[in-house]
Amino acid sequence: MRLLLVEDNERLAALLAEGLRRAGWDSDRVGLLGDAEAAVETGDYDAVVLDRGLPDGDGLDLVRHLRHRPGAPPVLVMTARGDVKEVCEGLDLGADDYVVKPVALSELVSRLNASQRRGRGRDVAPLSLGTLSLDPFSRALTANGVPFDPPPRERALLEVLLRAAPRPVAKETLEARLSSLERAVQPNAVEVYVHRLRARLTAVTAGVTIQTVRGLGYRLEATGAAEDAPA
């Protein structure tokens, strides 16, 4: 899962981003309202964590910007401004949740996961292909019923392919998903991650293969179902 973290305190943002990464959330970080508005126009996010007291304005302006946009990600406001009037203002403007700093990382993660359940419905079945199974809410990933936990970027790539299967995913889409505002992936990074992930999937007998779709990108298919040869 990918989120936009809008926080101007660089140390706090770095600590949050690392903790969220360990919980399965990759973060793009910005510290200005203007940069956040630009990011949501170009990025594909599952959620936004938003501070209010930004150097160039009130973070709630981003809530106003998003509230009438179809398919906008849920916004969790996380701020030191926590009197009842301010909380109500944020929720009434369209924020999906509002928490007051300081907040425990575990609570933040639980609130983010809850936002995904609300957005997608509670009865969504696990995503399965071969022996792979992904819980869409907890993001628990198993192969042959055993927990399977590849490194973060390989896991992110696998989730994108699994959610799209059997449709192919363009290489450019995978690059965008794996990139962050702090560190863009190198031109051949997708190929490197695919190569590593293929080996891991074989090692755990996942019953799937990542196939190359020439001129487009990759798709995930059950073993023996594809005709394209791996790159």
Tens of pLDDT, residue by residue over 8-60, are 999 999 999 999 988 888 889 999 999 999 888 877 788 999 999 999 999 99
What total of structural domains would you count in the chain? 2
- The per-residue pLDDT for 204 is 93
| Contact in structure between 146 and 203 (CB atoms under 8 Å) | no
Q: Could you tell me if 49 and 104 lie in one domain?
A: yes
User: Last residue of a domain, which of 102, 120, 138?
Assistant: 120
pLDDT at 231: 46
Of 65-69, 90-94, 107-111, 210-214, least confident by mean pLDDT is 65-69
Confidence class of residue 172 from pLDDT cuts 50, 70 and 90?
confident
Q: Are 21 and 96 contained in the same domain? A: yes
Whole-model pTM over 0.75: no
Burial (CB count within 10 angstroms: exposed 0-12, middle 13-18, buried 19+), residue 54: buried
Task: Say what percent of the chain tops pLDDT 90.
Answer: 53
Q: Is there a single domain that holds both residue 153 and residue 60?
A: no
Whole-number Cα distances in Å, 121 to 26, 68, 113 = 22, 21, 12
Residues 34 and 144 in one domain: no
DSSP assignment string, 150-195: --HHHHHHHHHHHHHTTS-EEHHHHHHHH--SS-PPPTTHHHHHHH
Beta carbons of 89 and 60 less than 8 angstroms apart: yes
CA dist list (Å): 36 to 49, 59, 93: 11, 9, 17
Return all residues near 119 (Cβ < 8 A) that are at least 6 apart: 74
Of 70, 103, 120, the one marking the end of a domain is 120
Domain containing 70 — which CATH number?
3.40.50.2300
Supply the mean pLDDT for the chain: 86
Share of the chain above pLDDT 70, in %: 89
Residue scoring higher pLDDT (42 or 159): 159
How do beta strands 132-134 and 169-170 pair?
A: unpaired
* CA atoms in the 13 A half-sphere facing the CB of 117: 12
- Write the burial class of residue 229 (CB in 10 Å: 0-12 exposed, 13-18 middle, 19+ buried): exposed
**Residue 91 and residue 134 share a domain:** no
Cα(72)–Cα(210) distance, rounded to whole angstroms? 30
Nearby residues of 109 by Cβ (< 8 Å), 6 or more positions away: 19, 20, 23, 25
Whether omega before 73 lies within 30 degrees of 0, making that bond cis, reads no
For the domain that residue 155 is a member of, what is the CATH number? 1.10.10.10
Other CB atoms closer than 10 Å to residue 34's CB: what's the count? Answer: 14
The confidence score (pLDDT) of residue 122 equals 45
pLDDT in tens, 88-146: 999 999 999 999 999 999 999 999 988 887 765 444 567 899 999 987 666 789 998 89
Q: What's the domain range around 99?
A: 2-120
From residue 185, alpha-carbon distances to 160, 198, 206 in Å are 16, 19, 26
